[in-house]
Amino acid sequence: MTAQAAIEQARAIYPRVSLYALILAAAGIPLYIHLPRYASVELGIGLGALGGLLLAIRLVDLVQDPLIGWAIDRFPRFQMGFALLAVGGLAIGFPLLFTRSEALTTGGMGALAAVLVLLFSAYSLGMILLYGRSATLAITPTAPELMRLAAWREAGMLAGVIMAALLPTFLVALGASGAGYGAFGLTLGGMAIVVGWLSRPIWQRPVILGNRFSFHDLKQAGASRLILLALVNSLPVAITSTLFLFFVEDRLQLPNAAGPLLVLFFLSAGLSVPLWARVAGKLGGRTTLIIAMPLAIGGFVGAAFLSAGNALGFAIICVASGAALGADMVILPALFSVSLTKARLSASLAFGIWSFAGKLALALAAFLVLPALQAAGFVPGVANTPQALSALNIAYAVVPCVLKLVALALVLALPAEEADL
């Protein structure tokens, strides 16, 4: 086989990487966006109790995610098994969660917690494997090729997000009962099985492993600064993801627009990924983030001043903030991969820590924001007082704006030589 033929054969792997990313992202949307409203409205769980439950699951992740990364590095020949375990957990968990099975409805919070631990564990395993194997899945472990792989992977992620955002509404239009959640869970479970089968070739590539992981080497590579940035930068997205449906349906009074607006947001993110990848190739990752982050900040400021019913204004905000998210998704993981590759470190344990940082942000968002809204008198799906809606407005727009400014300051503080691709 010629070198060119080998490269073409390797590039055929990228669409399958995108497909695997798609099902993981399609799984993430229900857990991070649909779950708060589903649990509060369909299952009757209070926002405070739900926030506490999600934080408890994150405490499991505190130990679990780094252990998953360690196991992936320790047993490289089992990467196919890890990949199939991840999609298998999703295939079982989503029907259990969203079909309101007898075990879930009679088991109460304990049963819900068990199903969520299964789903979050499967999701973590798939994500850490996918990101930790960046050097293996890229044609060559070089910065340009890692960025190309990241663009394919994040495009798949965003396609999965859009699909998951549209799917409940689409299933209801086809005749699914209720809000379409039961059919939603079954569909996601079936898709996980299909994707697991189709993506097998990507896990048959020879594994590229780096040196033994150490926190000292992680710090020397500059990756610890990127983990802190990932945590802080994830907080605004975590808060707005948790509160998106509440903000659109209760604050803006646009219940029928939530699905299309969510799709617009992620469509903007998806379309922006190739642009940001190209800009990063020319200007570097740090400069690209400095350009992109003010879009998110402007979106938060605009959202704070929207009046009820202003669908057009919020649509414009979704486009701007979605484009900013596209930059975050493609550049930050690529910067982290490059820093690990330059230091010749094994990546899966490091990405286990990276994964935990992102999910800790989601847990903190749920644990801090949801009980605060409940204390302010906010109740989803009913007529709320002006004070309760004002609290929702502050939580959705003002707090994330402040956090994004902190993230921008951290980007400005990154050494230029450690933040380029």
Rg (CA), the chain: 21
Nearest-angstrom CA–CA distance, 300 and 393: 10
| Whole-number pLDDT of residue 374 | 87
Mean pLDDT of the chain: 81
Question: Which residues span the domain enclosing 59?
Answer: 7-418
- Flag whether 198 is in a domain: yes
The structure tokens 């930059």 sit at 327
Half-sphere exposure of 276 (CA within 13 A, CB side): 33
| DSSP summary character for residue 343 | H
Q: How confident is the model at residue 242 (pLDDT cuts 50, 70, 90)?
A: confident
What is d(CA 108, CA 204) in angstroms, rounded to the nearest whole number?
A: 41
pLDDT: which is higher, 191 or 36: 191
Q: Give me the count of residues in the chain.
A: 421
pLDDT tens per residue across span 257-299: 887 888 888 888 888 888 888 888 888 888 889 999 999 999 9
Could you tell me if residue 108 is inside a domain?
yes
Q: Cα dihedral angle (249, 254, 259, 260), rounded to 10 degrees?
A: -150
What is the rounded distance in angstroms from the CA atom of residue 386 to the CA atom of residue 367? 23
Q: Is residue 380 part of a domain?
A: yes
Domain annotation covers residue 2: no
Number of domains in the chain: 1
pLDDT score of 255 more than 60:
yes
pLDDT of residue 133: 82
Residue 391: inside a domain:
yes
Does residue 227 belong to any structural domain of this protein?
A: yes
Is residue 7 pLDDT above 70, yes or no? no
Torsional class of 84: left (φ above 0), alpha (ψ -120 to 50), beta (otherwise): alpha
Q: Where does residue 14 rank: exposed (0-12), middle (13-18), buried (19+ CB within 10 A)?
A: buried
**Which of 126-135, 152-161, 302-311, 353-362 shows the lowest per-residue confidence on average (mean pLDDT)?**
353-362
Q: Is residue 1 part of a domain?
A: no
In a domain, 216, yes or no: yes
Report residue 330's pLDDT band, with 50, 70 and 90 as the boundaries.
Answer: confident
Q: Using a cut of 0.75, tell me whether the model's pTM lies above it.
A: no
Q: Which residue has the higher pLDDT, 84 or 63?
A: 84
Handedness of CA 207, 129, 86, 267 (dihedral sign): negative
Judged against a pLDDT cut of 70, whether residue 218 lies above it is answered with no
Output the domain CATH number for residue 400: 1.20.1250.20
Q: Would you say 231 and 406 are in contact if contact means Cβ atoms under 8 Å apart?
A: no
